[in-house]
Structure 1
Amino acid sequence: MKSSFSFRPAQLDEIVKIADFQFACWQAAYVDILSDSFLSGMSRDHRREQWRYRLLSGKRKIMAAWADDDVAGVVSWTDGDLASGRELKTLYVGADYQRSGL
C-alpha cells in the first residue's frame, strides 16, 4: 500500500483507467449486496462512455487520486453556485487504499 498520492483533475486520456477503476470498485464492494446477474450484466464499455460524457460535457468535475500510475480514488461533483449548491456524485477509494489516509 502506498502512503503518498498525487491528486489532479481527470484528463480525457485517463478516462478509461478511471472507468475501469470504478467498475472494479463496484464488482468488489457490491458482491454481497447486489445480485450476481446484476453485477455480471454491467458493461465496462458503458462505464467508459458514462465517464467520458461526464468529463466532456462539463456536467461534473472529476478529480482522481493516483498512486504512481494506478488510480487510488475518484471523486466527482456537480459545480453549482452557492445558491443552487454543489452535489457530491461519486466517491470511490480502491480496496488497496482504504484506511491509508487517502
Structure 2
Amino acid sequence: MTLYRGPNSLFRALAPKYRLNKAEYLQLYNLRPTTQVMLELVIEEAGTRFTEEELRDILVIIRRVFDEEEESIPAGVEDMQMPKIANKLLGANKKRRKVKRKV
C-alpha cells in the first residue's frame, strides 16, 4: 500500500521533489535503505544527480513513509482519487523515434 498509490505512498512523497525511475522506486521500496551508502547503491549515478543534502532528504522521506505502520493506513486508501503528479517517472512515456533505414 505504500509504493505508488494513495496519500501514504513512497512515490507521492518523493515524486514532487525528485525524479527517479520505476526501478529505483521498486528498489527503494524493497531494500528500504537506511544509510546514504545504501541509497547510492539503489539510485543510479546518485552522486551526480543529487547533492549530499538532497540524498539526506530522500532518506528522511523514506524513513517517514516506512515508519508509518501499514496497519494505521485505512483499507481502500490505494483506490482514492488523487491529483496527478506531473512527470511521474523519469523515462516514462518516451516517444520512440522512427528511424529511417538506408537500404
Structures share fold, TM-score greater than 0.5:
no
Q: Based on CA coordinates, which of the two structures has the bigger radius of gyration?
A: 2
- Higher RCO structure, 1 or 2 (CA under 8 Å, sep 6+): 2
Q: Which has the higher strand share?
A: 1
Relative to the length of structure 2, the TM-score reads: 0.30
Q: Which has the higher helix share?
A: 2
